[in-house]
């Protein structure tokens, strides 16, 4: 909870400093502007303590690592079966961002952050939930996965507007823990990667260089660690 709050505060500080020109810039998320990515973050926060916090029957089946074992292009329950999840999210984001100016987006994101943080405190972390397209997991493990999502999207925004790419230190530890778990083996020290480089490479935002592939050996085939 504390790590996610720190990461969300950093996201707010970044977004609060953006101009209208910045909001219109394209991000490295294909087809998404900065404004649309902010709207996506707002929507994730709303769903975090809304539909994604609803209890379900049964024991948890996955943890924060298992969460990333899904098919990002597969269909989701209660969604158009003719569309991939990526397409569903894209359509949703267009609707969420449409017609709102920078002041409205910033204010809406701030409200969503405060409501989400308040809501997280009220939901038992051992509550079993089920997000569409995923097996059952505890709410606490789902919250942990949000450090990666909001941390990486903050980096995406920073990249688009020419700011330093970073995540909150407490969130970074959780993000690296997830990426280490997905890789299944420590990154060779000879790579001399800092945490930012590992996050970018692990999430597919930075391609591996030939020398890095050589040092990684068979582990290179696991990149990107998120699909």
Q: What is the pLDDT of residues 150-179, one digit of tens each?
A: 999 999 999 999 999 999 999 999 999 999
pLDDT of residue 69: 85
pLDDT of residue 102: 86
pLDDT of residue 130: 95
Q: How far apart are CA 43 and CA 50, in angstroms?
A: 10
Q: Are strands 128-129 and 137-138 parallel, antiparallel or unpaired?
A: antiparallel
For the chain, give every domain's residue range.
2-222
- Extract long-range pairs of 204-208: CB within 8 Å, 24+ residues apart: 205/28, 205/152, 205/155, 205/156, 205/159
pTM over 0.95: no
Report the chain's mean pLDDT, rounded to a whole number: 91
Q: Tell me which residue has tokens 């493990």.
A: 141
Which CATH architecture fits 2-222?
Up-down Bundle (1.20)
pLDDT of residue 100: 79
Low-confidence ranges of the chain (pLDDT < 70): 71-98
């Amino acid at each position: 909870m504390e790590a996610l709050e720190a990461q969300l505060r950093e996201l707010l500080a970044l977004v609060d400093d953006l101009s209208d020109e910045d909001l219109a810039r394209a991000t490295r998320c294909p087809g998404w502007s900065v404004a649309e990515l902010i709207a996506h973050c707002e929507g994730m926060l709303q769903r975090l303590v809304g539909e994604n916090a609803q209890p379900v029957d049964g024991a948890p089946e996955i943890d924060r690592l298992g969460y990333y074992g899904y098919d990002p292009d597969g269909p989701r329950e209660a969604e158009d079966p003719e569309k991939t999840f990526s397409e569903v999210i894209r359509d949703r984001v267009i609707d969420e961002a449409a017609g709102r100016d920078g002041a409205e987006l910033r204010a809406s994101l701030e409200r969503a952050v405060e409501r989400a943080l308040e809501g997280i405190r009220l939901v038992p972390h051992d509550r079993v939930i089920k997000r569409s397209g995923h097996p059952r997991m505890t709410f606490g493990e789902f919250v942990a996965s949000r450090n990666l999502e909001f941390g990486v999207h903050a980096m995406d925004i920073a990249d688009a507007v020419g700011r330093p790419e970073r995540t909150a230190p407490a969130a970074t530890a959780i993000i690296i823990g997830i990426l280490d778990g997905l890789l299944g083996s420590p990154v060779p020290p000879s790579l001399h990667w800092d945490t930012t480089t590992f996050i970018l490479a692990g999430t597919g935002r930075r391609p591996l260089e030939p020398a890095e592939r050589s040092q990684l050996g068979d582990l290179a085939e696991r990149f990107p660690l998120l699909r």
